[in-house]
Each structure stands twice: as structure tokens, then as C-alpha cells.
A and B are shown apart, each in its own frame.
Chain A
């Protein structure tokens, strides 16, 4: 007696169909699970019989073999409990329709996933959203999954999503003695306003402008300033001026959260993520990894959002090193002996650092810097190099002056800035419509030659600046990119000397003083 149930497993952010085959044969009582099951899957050997018996069914005697096909890919996680249990019941012919009169759902049309507790309750799993997408792409009629995961999966159109709480719900569903209502998606069309707004920040107009440029062109930012000047406060407000997430972006970000099991009943993520990993984070923590199937790291959790690295020089060297490739490609590739998988990692990096170890280097306030020259140099050297290459904007965040503090805190609101940012982004999208890039920050040298033409005055100006400050060829490219974004913000096609001057201003670390 054989039964086949369709289920799914994850490979990165993509799902693939796993067929759970259950064979009941004569022989000594035994329950085998084959098909490269990993830890938690092997343990379902104990969970499944208990769940079946406690749900009021009989676990059959004899030799029971469960195969997870394709049998050569390692399976982990607990999502196969439910299909196994249903397969065992189906093999015993316990899911036959109650009456021939009414049509009953066909077992082959659905993907089943869910962990079982010993009393038959269906517990949440990781990756429900990618699995629902898989069900849709494979032309299945629907997916049956834990109630807690129904919300995130219901985002997927064209399939029926059934959230279940107990094993018996699934059996009665297939026997036709009970109808479960499919989960209806509740995407709140209105984006709830970001809780933090730029108008709350006192002064710092120059920094706000820099962040606006960064948001408009997708440039990475480094903020340098003494403690308490508002670096973190400003960074936290950056997501509020980024363009509103598109549905596709939401789906991508939600998928990453889904496979890390971080959604907690939430539906679609509509707000850009803001991740602030602590500087003690490990390289695996940032790009992803771990035993078994590697999990996404912070850089992927910040996908389509902001990754904020506070106290940049305190981060471990290797952590900053491993971020280079993902920042370039917009995705993380994790290579393991048995698998290679990709996680999305299209992020805007915002880094913050003090100008020196004590934090008060060259500040005019009451606090005096107590660091030696060598100390300051060593501190700054820690961030120099390849990562810094990928940060287009360097901006000084000075201590806030008293007159700014006592002023009523009513700066430009985030919404106002975001409107400007979105206009600039639209210009860029049109510009790069035939290229696989979508923002100025991703321009390559040949794009620069086409889109960043300077006039005679611009050339003279830039030549003077470059020679005077001893800037490199790379710095020259950066300045062109930034000038392009600044011109886009003012909605002009031509890059003027004024745009260039502002761009030069954002390359403070290149100016060897």
C-alpha cells in the first residue's frame, strides 16, 4: 500500500518539490525515513507516530518506509511531519471520501507542509512564502500549511492557501466532511507612516542633505562625528525617505524573513527593513551561514533596506571583508561542500564612526580630544581600504550647536524629502531602462562616460580639485556618480559646477590633508 504526498523544501530563497512517498509493507514493525533526512527530519520518526495516535488514529503495524524524493538532496527542518502523517493515513485508506456524492479535494493537487507536535497540533514552519510561490509555479491548486504561516503565504495569488491547526482538520478536509475557508490576503494598501521622521532631528541640515542624496542615488554613506551628534538618530530615519517599496521588493524581503522564521504571523513586509548589527557580529552572522542549510545573515535581512554599521572601526576585519562581494553584486553566494546558494542582499550601507578613539577629534566644544596622532591614524586605518571604496558619501556630523538645540524641532518632514527622492529615482529608472541597474550608485565606468558628461567649466573645476587634493582616479569616478545624483535631484540633465562642488564635498576622506 503506497501513498504519495507533495511537499516542499527550501534551497536558498527558492523552493523545490519534495515528494513524500509512504510504503506500508509486510514485515517486522519498523518505521524508516530515507532520502537524506537531517537531524530534525530524522526525529519525525518519533513525532509522527505519537501525533497520529494522539489525534485518535492508529499508527499501522508492519514495515513502513518513508522516502523523501529527490533522495539525493539533504532535507532539514520539520515541515515534512504533516505530509508524512497524512501519507501514512492515506496508505491505510483512511482518507477515502465519506460520500461519493460530493466532490472531495484531491490529495495530489496540494502541497502539504507543517511540523507536528505530539498531540497532533500543527506548528509553524520556516519559509512558508517561498513554498507558496513554489505551489503557484508548479501549477498546484493550493497549499496546506500551519495556521500561523497562512498570512504570509496568502500574499501569493492564484492558489488556495489553507491554514490548519490540527492534523484532524487535514484528514476531514480530504474526506470531504469539513470545509476549510481559504486564507484571504490582507495587504493593507495604505502604507502606515514610518514611526521616525526627519523633522525630529535638530539642525544637521548638511547631513540631512547628504542622506537625501544617498537615498536618491542608492549611495552608501559613512558618517563621521563625535558621540551624541545624532549619527544613529539620522541613520534610523533613513528608511523613511527611501522610495516606497514596490510589491516585488516587498515579496523579496518577506521571503528572506520567511525562511529565517522571523515573520511571526505578519503578512507582507511593506516597510523597508533597518538592521543594526552590533559590532561584535561574526562573519557568518553578517552574510549568513550555519550548519545544515545556511541561513540568511544580517545583510540579507536588510535586503531592499538599510544596513546600519555603527562604530564601523570596531567591526572585525573579516566581517568587513566578507561584505565586499555582496555589496558589489547585491546578493550573497554561500558555497558549501554539497550546495551553493544565493540570498538577496541589495542593501544601502550606512556606517557611522567617531573621528578618533575618544570621539572628540577636531571638535570645537568643551570636550578636548585626548588621542595621540598615531592612535588616530591607527583608528582610521582600520576602516580604510576595500570597504571604504564602496562607500560613495563621507559626511562630517558636527556636534549640534546650542542655537539649533533650543530651536523648535521642525525641519523638513520625511515625506517631503521622499517625494524629491522618488522623482530622482524615476529619472534614473528611465535612464537605465535598458541596463540591469536601477540607481546611479550601480553605474559602471562605461555608464559614467555616457551619462556624466561635463562641460568645459566642469572639467576645469574638477581638474583643479583633483590636483589640489591629490585625489585618485577612483575618487574621480565617485565624484561623477554623486554629481549625477545631485543633478537628478534638481531635475537637470546637465551636470554643473555647482553639482560637482557638492559632490567633492562628500569625499572628505579622499582629501589628504
Chain B
């Protein structure tokens, strides 16, 4: 299987997964000079006594081998996180989204030959300083 095909399949699986969780997908493969975001999703959540709009910037990593079970997670390096953060700021300002709270998710997928793929979702995986929470 070609590697780009793997990534596209994984992102497809991830957005289906998010939609099932009640998210609305508002962007796919948003690319700027400074970085790229795989999936951007939004949903309304309760906050304090009211409600707020939550935007999730999701990085998807897909693997076909099961030999190293956490290689996808480890691939989200500090450098990669920085690029995602920069791109997310760009996205919010270009689309003039201000009244929202935004978090960064990671979805790691292992594609398997005969079984269902394994999807691991890490909500709020890191914060805007790049530190892992």
C-alpha cells in the first residue's frame, strides 16, 4: 500500500469517528506555509453556567504495522506540535473565529489486515505551549 494512501485512509476513518462522537468537521488538510492540520472539527459544549463553541485541531497518524504499538503517538514530535499550533492560530484568525475555545487532539490509528482498525483518540493531547497535558 502506498504511504500517502495509508494517510488518506486514516484521516477518513478519523473524521468518521469524530462525526460519530458528535463533531462537525469544518476543515480537512488545511495547509499553510507554517504548518498543516489534518482535521478541524467543532462542537458546542457546556462551559461554566452557559455553553461555548469548541474547536478541535486533530492530528492523525496512521500505521500499518503492529510491531511497534505506539510508534504513531511518538511521531507527534515537539516540532510537529509547534507547526500545528502555528497553523491553528492562522486558521482561527483567517476565518475570524474568536469566541471559541480550542484544543489539540491526536488520533492514532493502526490498520489491520483482517480485523477492524484500531482507533485511539487523545482529546486535549497537548496545549498551546506545545506541552503535553
Contact = CB atoms under 8 A, between A and B. Distances in A.
Partners in one complex: yes
A26 interface: yes
B48 A62 contact: no
B49 interface: yes
B88 A93 contact: no
A82 B127 CA distance: 22
Interface string A84-106: 00000001110000000000000
B98 A26 contact: yes
B101 interface: yes
A49 interface: yes
Contact of B89 (A28, A49, A92): A28
B88 A28 contact: yes
Contact of A29 (B45, B98, B101): B101
Given A61-B103, A93-B49, A28 B85 contact: yes
Contacts of A63: 101, 128
Nearest to A25: B101
Interface in B45-85: 45, 47-49, 52, 54, 85
A345 B61 CA distance: 63
A26 B48 contact: no
A469 B99 CA distance: 90
A24 interface: yes
B124 A61 contact: yes
B96 interface: no
B34 interface: no
**What interface size band does chain B fall in?**
20 to 34
Contacts of B98: 26
Interface in B14-56: 45, 47-49, 52, 54
Interface in A27-73: 27-31, 49, 60-63
A437 interface: no
Interface string B82-107: 00010011001000001111111000
A405 interface: no
A30 B48 contact: no
B2 interface: no
Contacts of A92: 47-48
A180 interface: no
B127 A62 contact: no
Contacts of A91: 48
A184 interface: no
A27 B54 CA distance: 9
A30 B128 contact: yes
Given A26-B52, A28-B127, A60 B102 contact: no
A179 interface: no
Given A28-B127, A29-B103, A49 B47 contact: no
B58 to A, nearest CB: 13
A1 interface: yes
Given A49-B133, A61-B54, A61-B124, A28 B48 contact: no
B129 interface: yes
A28 B102 contact: yes
A69 B45 CA distance: 32
A28 B128 contact: yes
B52 to A, nearest CB: 7
Contacts of A60: 47-48
A28 B90 CA distance: 12
B99 A31 contact: no
Nearest to A94: B48
Given A61-B54, A93-B49, A26 B99 contact: yes
A261 to B, nearest CB: 30
A60 B124 CA distance: 11
Q: Which of A24, A62, A92 has the most CB of B within 10 A?
A: A62
A30 B101 contact: no
A318 B47 CA distance: 61
Contacts of B99: 26
A28 B87 CA distance: 12
Interface string A149-183: 00000000000000000000000000000000000
Contacts of B49: 93
A30 B54 contact: no
A60 B100 CA distance: 13
A63 B48 CA distance: 14
A62 B101 CA distance: 5
Contacts of A28: 85, 88-89, 92, 101-104, 127-128
A477 B89 CA distance: 77
Contacts of B104: 28-29
B52 A30 contact: no
Contacts of A93: 48-49
B85 A29 contact: no
B124 A24 contact: no
Contacts of A62: 47, 52, 101-102
B19 to A, nearest CB: 20
24 contacts: A1-B48, A26-B52, A26-B99, A26-B100, A27-B102, A28-B89, A28-B92, A28-B102, A28-B104, A28-B128, A29-B102, A29-B124, A30-B127, A30-B129, A61-B47, A61-B101, A61-B103, A62-B52, A62-B101, A62-B102, A63-B128, A92-B47, A92-B48, A93-B48
**10 closest cross-chain pairs (CB), A and B:** A62-B101, A28-B128, A30-B128, A29-B103, A29-B127, A28-B102, A61-B101, A30-B127, A93-B49, A93-B48
Interface of A: 1, 24, 26-31, 49, 60-63, 91-93
Given A60-B47, A61-B101, 4 more contacts: A29-B104, A29-B124, A29-B127, A61-B103
